[in-house]
Amino acid sequence: MRILITGGAGFIGSNLAIRLAQLGHAVTTADTFLSGHWHTLCHFEGDVLTLHDRTDLAPIYESVKRYGPFEVIFHQAAITGVIASDGTARAGEDVHGFLRNNVEQFRSILDLAVETSARVVWASSCSVYGRNPPPMREDQPYDPLNIYAFSKVQKERLSRLYATRLKHPIVGLRYSNVYGPGEAHKGKLASMIHQLARQMLVGKRPRIFRAGEQRRDFVYIDDVVELNLRAMQATKSGIYNGGAGASWSFNEVVAELNRVLGTHLEPDYFENPYGFTQDWTECDMSRARADLGFVPAFDLRRGIEAYQASGKLGV
């Protein structure tokens, strides 16, 4: 199939692009390189479109004109967090930038999908749950705690709105905390697993929020790619959790990293400087299992082992 991946130079987009190309699809990535990096595409056999900014969809339309419509669009593009890559919370103040980039561009991509009869699978986020109690289920009310989460809520509303106009089902995936090879370019926005491993590899004590008992649903990148492949075959539109279906504390992450890296470093606890972080995220994965036949294959132990085997853990 001819497939478009927006945000294809990013962590998740590039892993998906490489896998789909390996499966024999004709894959095109489109990215503004706002946060993505060309490094992620070194092993990608496909076409790379460079967008000037979020409004620049001309290269995509040009590709459609020259080579024909895309049968599937994976929309991964987004400003991906409220913490700027320099570690400050500055990005969270840019409401205008967030909504224009994340929501308005999605609307344009959906218009393209309507015009060209493309199927759409896109990236939402568990941040839409905010303070809802775990395990997080898709029917819980929205509780966005920051502009990033709100942009995902608005995208979900758009996704429902367009479901009736699109020729094929549209599927949104609420990823939890994704980790794995290909995330290094994200800096402070990379997973805690990557950031802690990076500290530990140079002999530093891993710095985590006091007292290390915040829990996260950490999902390995290979599971996220698999979930996207399943979503591509969905028979009805929907929004699905995309997690491991379990949670682990930061203390458990440090213990697992010590085991895999062969280190014995005690956590260095510090106060959480951000008022908006979730204490406990854990996805209920029953809807994805029932409708998409998706069962996560990686728990924290297997995921960190696979990450280490890739040679990219903390590198």
Which is nearer to ligand NAD, 164 or 281 (by Cβ)?
281
| Shortest Å, Cβ 75 to ligand NAD | 8
Q: How far is the CB of 203 from ligand NAD (least distance, A)?
A: 27
Q: Provide the strand spans (E) within 15-155.
A: 26-31, 47-50, 72-75, 119-125
Which of residues 88 and 167 has its CB atom nearest to ligand NAD in the complex? 88
DSSP string spanning 170-203?
A: EEEEEE-EEESTT-GGGGGGS-HHHHHHHHHHTT
What is the helix, strand, coil percentage profile of the chain, to 5?
Answer: 40, 20, 40
Q: Which of 205/302 has CB closer to ligand NAD? A: 302
**CA 44 vs CA 166, 194, 306: distances in Å:** 29, 22, 20
* Nearest in space to 80 (alpha carbons), one of 6, 172, 151, 180: 151
Query: Least distance (Å) from ligand NAD to the CB of residue 16?
Result: 9
Distance of CA 306 to the CA centre of its chain: 18
Nearer to ligand NAD, 208 or 281 (CB): 281
Please give the Cα distance from 185 to 187 (Å, whole number).
6
Residues paired with 112 in a beta bridge: none
Residue numbers of the site for ligand NAD (CB under 6 A)? 6-7, 9-13, 30-36, 51, 54, 76-80, 101, 105, 123, 125, 175, 177-178, 186
Q: What positions carry a catalytic annotation?
A: 148, 186
Q: How far is the CB of 262 from ligand NAD (least distance, A)?
A: 27
Query: Which whole-number Å values give the CA distances from 216 to 34, 71, 159, 284, in the listed order?
Result: 27, 35, 26, 13
Write down the least CB distance from residue 106 to ligand NAD, Å.
9
- What does the angle CA 10 – CA 189 – CA 248 come to, to the nearest 5 degrees? 110
**5/292 with CB nearer ligand NAD:** 5
Which helix (H) or strand (E) covers residue 207, if one does?
strand 207-209
177 forms beta bridges with 218
